[in-house]
Amino acid sequence: MDRLSIGVLASGRGSNFQAIIDSIASGYLKAGIALLITDNPNAYAIERARKHGIEAIIMVPKQFASRNEYYKAVARELKVREVGLVVLAGFMRIIGKPLIDAFQHRIMNIHPALLPAFPGLHGQKQAADYGVKISGCTVHFVDEGMDTGPIIIQAAVPAAADDTEDALSERILKMEHKIFPEAIRLFAENRLEVVGRKVRIRGFDVPDTSLINPLLPG
């Protein structure tokens, strides 16, 4: 089986980008990262790419005639490098139709809440303010909505009554770093099938709950 080629889009520090890099280095992921694209010239993700010999290019939307032209250009860069999966690792923009059409069911995002609850920005703060007892994170395929695409994996994280956004975010982030590489691994092994709104995982009904759900015994 050919090794999966990944393209990463990131806007900030890129901690999930690093988690993917580490999962490849450990052998957990049979994949390679072909390219990092960032819309932020100051993103720390660029430094992470440099340290690991990964090509990084800066593509700022305002330098393009329109949003559609921007995402056409992003898709071209990914296709030239024969990318098989696009991963959004803290990319702080809604993906445009030209990129979605070019990589149908081949764009993954991770969101710091249990979708469909608390979509959009600051999902952790939304959850803490609402007073939920359980929060978590979600890996999903990307469609044209905001965090509305088919769900691949979710992980539950306990929430305390006195949680701040930062405290809850830190616990959720630890689980993000586990389930994002797991979702990519399942994709690389051709075990994900999108059927309507649902993602079926070939080989078992649900992922290993000892990995993705800290409330269950390992």
Active site residue ranges: 111
Please, are residues 128 and 164 in contact by the beta-carbon 8 Å criterion? yes
Which residues does 164 contact at the CB level (< 8 Å), separation at least 6? Answer: 128
The β-bridge partners of 20 are: none
CA count, 13 A, side-chain hemisphere, 117? 19
- 9 C-beta neighbours (distance < 10 Å), count: 26
- The amino acid present at 218, given as its one-letter code, is G
Closest CA to 150 of 118, 181, 108, 189: 108
116 prior amide bond cis, ω within 30:
yes
Closest CA to 153 of 215, 212, 98, 65: 212
Please, are residues 34 and 82 in contact by the beta-carbon 8 Å criterion? yes
Place of tokens 């071209």: 76
Please, are residues 29 and 187 in contact by the beta-carbon 8 Å criterion? no
Which residues does 131 contact at the CB level (< 8 Å), separation at least 6? Answer: 161
